[in-house]
Structure formats: structure tokens, C-alpha cells
Structure 1
Amino acid sequence: MRIAVVDDDASIRRALARLLAALDFEAATFATGAEFLDSLSDRVPDCLMLDLHMPSMTGLEVQEALTEAGIELPIIIITGHDEPKAIRQSLEAGAAVCLSKPLDDELLLETINTAVYSTPRSSK
């Protein structure tokens, strides 16, 4: 199973890639939302872990771009900022769940499994 991680913090990307590999997932990491969106022509991941607060393109803007492209995949929002309005908007835009950083390993594994097996996916 391939999990995409989009976060502007390099240390978060590295930590999540190591954690996901230890959990037997294939991780693909991206520093920006635009970089992730560009990668979709090659392969759509099974799940997306998406930071809400990034410069140049926010997590919500990435979600909007996915919706406009007709791409449905499970999205797990990861955030270090507890901003109820942004979290609510992201959930309303289709995110499966929002997790606060730092992430709990067991909760993350449970969340990925729940999101992947209960979220419809597009055929793209």
C-alpha cells in the first residue's frame, strides 16, 4: 500500500517515511502540494497524509484541486495547529480524519487502515 505524505517540514516527512516503512507501507513524500499534485500523473496513492498549513498551497487547496480533478482517495489531515475552522473545512471537503502532531504510531496505523478500507476511491 502506498501512502503519500505532503508536509513542508523535512523532519516530519523523514520521520513519517521511516514510520510508514516500519509498518510495511510504501511512503512517497512531497514538500509541497504542487509537487504531490504533479506526481498524480504517474500514480495515485492509496492514502494521503496531508499537512493543513503549508506555504504557497495549503492542505485545503490540495483537497480542492483533487476534487476538481475528480480524484477521490482517503485523506488524513496532519496538523500542528489546532485551528477548528481550518480543520472543520478540511473535514467538510472530504478528509477522513484530522490528527494532531506529534502523531501516535498505533493511532496512525489504525487511522490509515480505517481510512483506506472505508473511503471510496476514484478509478483514475
Structure 2
Amino acid sequence: MTDPEPLIAVVDDESPVRVMLGRVLRLADYRVGEYACGEDFLASLDGAQLPLCAIVDLHMPGLSGFEVQSRIRAATLKVPVVFITASDDPGLDRSALALGGRGLLRKPFSSDQLFEAIVSAVGQRDNGNAGDKDGNDST
């Protein structure tokens, strides 16, 4: 049995953004989990398979992208996060990296920029897999 396509999580409160990113990622043979809020995404992390990477909007109702990243780190889950935002605030880049984010894309961004950010984020991931909470491959 072959491994399923890698899972990418898209967390954004704007449905058109989730749909667009989902389509682009599926065309590149990723499985996509779409979440309208940080709380739903974090609840999904209780399952056996963690996403290879999470694309997380910074500004959402409820938990912000930074709060989502903080909770992922507090739970010691190995899920690299690439933040997305429509903000032009130059301080966000520094904040994103300081909190452990693997990149920050400003909307609108190209599919090439998205894939480059995912590859970079996954390449920076600490020694683990997207398998289980400890980063161990469960096969």
C-alpha cells in the first residue's frame, strides 16, 4: 500500500482564500484540510496524522495565526507553519519568525511563492515526519 499524498492544512477565515489555496494544492497532488478558524484546526491535531505543513492566516476572529502557532509549539507538535496576511506591517516578518513560523506570505501571492514557502518550511522542520505527535513515522 502506498502512502497517501501529503496533507497540507489551510487555516483562513475567508472562504474564497481557502477554496483557492485548496485547489492550487490539490492540483499539486496534496491532500488539503481546510479550516475556517484556528480552534477547528487545533482540534484536528488530535488525530493520528499531522499535516506536513500548515498555511495559517494571521488575522482571524478567535485565535490569531500567532496564537495558533504558539499553541502548536506549546503542545510540541512538529507542524511547520507558513503565515499568510494581507497586512503591509513590516514588523510582522520579524514576529512571525520569532514565534517559530517558517515564513510569511503577503496576499496576493503566486502559487510559485506558496510552493517555495512549503518546501522551505518542510525542509526546516526538526528531524521529524508529519506522522504522529512526536514526529515519528507511524508506518
Percent of aligned pairs sharing the same letter: 37
Which of 4, 9, 17 is equivalent to 1:12?
17
Structure with the greater alpha carbon radius of gyration: 2
Count of residue pairs brought into register by the alignment = 124
* TM-score, length-scaled by structure 1: 0.93
Given candidates 52, 67, 77, the residue that maps to 2:58 is: 52
Q: CA deviation at 1:93?
A: 0.6
Distance (whole Å) between structure 1 residues aligned to residue 94 and residue 60 of structure 2: 17
> Offset at 1:108?
1.2
Quote the Cα distance in structure 1 between the aligned partners of 2:73 and 2:31: 24
Q: Structure 1 runs of 4+ off > 4 angstroms?
A: none
Tell me if structure 1 keeps the 8 A contact 2:102–2:124: no
Gaps of 5+ in 2: 1-5, 134-139
Unmatched 5+ stretches in structure 1: none
Q: Kindly indicate whether the alpha-carbon contact (under 8 Å) linking 2:83 and 2:103 is maintained by their aligned counterparts in 1.
A: yes
Q: Would you say the 8 A contact 2:11–2:38 is kept in 1?
A: yes
TM normalised by structure 2 equals: 0.83
Whole-angstrom distance in 1 between the partners of 2:39 and 2:93: 20
Give the letter aligned to residue 67 of structure 1. R
Deviation at 1:72, TM superposition (A): 2.4
* Residues 63-96 of structure 1, C-alpha deviations (whole Å, 9 max, x = no match): 1111111112211111111223333222101111
The CA RMSD over aligned residues, in Å, is: 1.4
Which structure has more helix as a fraction of its residues?
1
Deviations along 1:89-124, one digit per CA (max 9) or x if unpaired, are 221011111001112111211221121122214751
The residue that corresponds to 1:100 in the other structure is: 106
